[in-house]
Amino acid sequence: MILFDAAASPAAAAAASLQRSLRLCDLARGLEASVSHVLDHSPGDAVSMRLRDLGFVDGEPVRVVAHGPIGADPLLVQIGYTRFALRRAEAARVQVRTAA
């Protein structure tokens, strides 16, 4: 019996190659992306847990709306229909996927 692995199909490989992964703090202003995951710096990381509670979960659409005036900190980030001001260090914990 031959089992089909959808992840190994040419279509799945092509779709994966069209996506690029980067940190939210590196996302260009106005570019649409989706959340991949939030990185934990330690077990029980309070900041990462709070980001997930705010809606930074896998597949959620996200974009950077604006940057702060000094050092581009903080970032105004829109996730779904809600906007948050995040420090660059907090946004660096959020991995996102963009279309290449």
pTM above 0.85, yes or no: no
| Rounded distance between C-alpha atoms, residue 9 and residue 55, angstroms | 31
Q: Could you say which residues of the chain have pLDDT below 50?
A: 1-4, 6, 13-14, 17
Q: What is the pLDDT, as a whole number, of residue 22?
A: 92
Question: How wide is the angle at C-alpha 35 spanned by C-alphas 91 and 88, nearest 5°?
Answer: 5
Residue 1's pLDDT is what?
A: 45
| Assigned CATH class of 20-99 | mainly beta
| pLDDT on residue 99 | 74
CA 100 – CA 32 distance, rounded (Å): 11
Q: Which two tokens stand for residue 33?
A: 């992306």
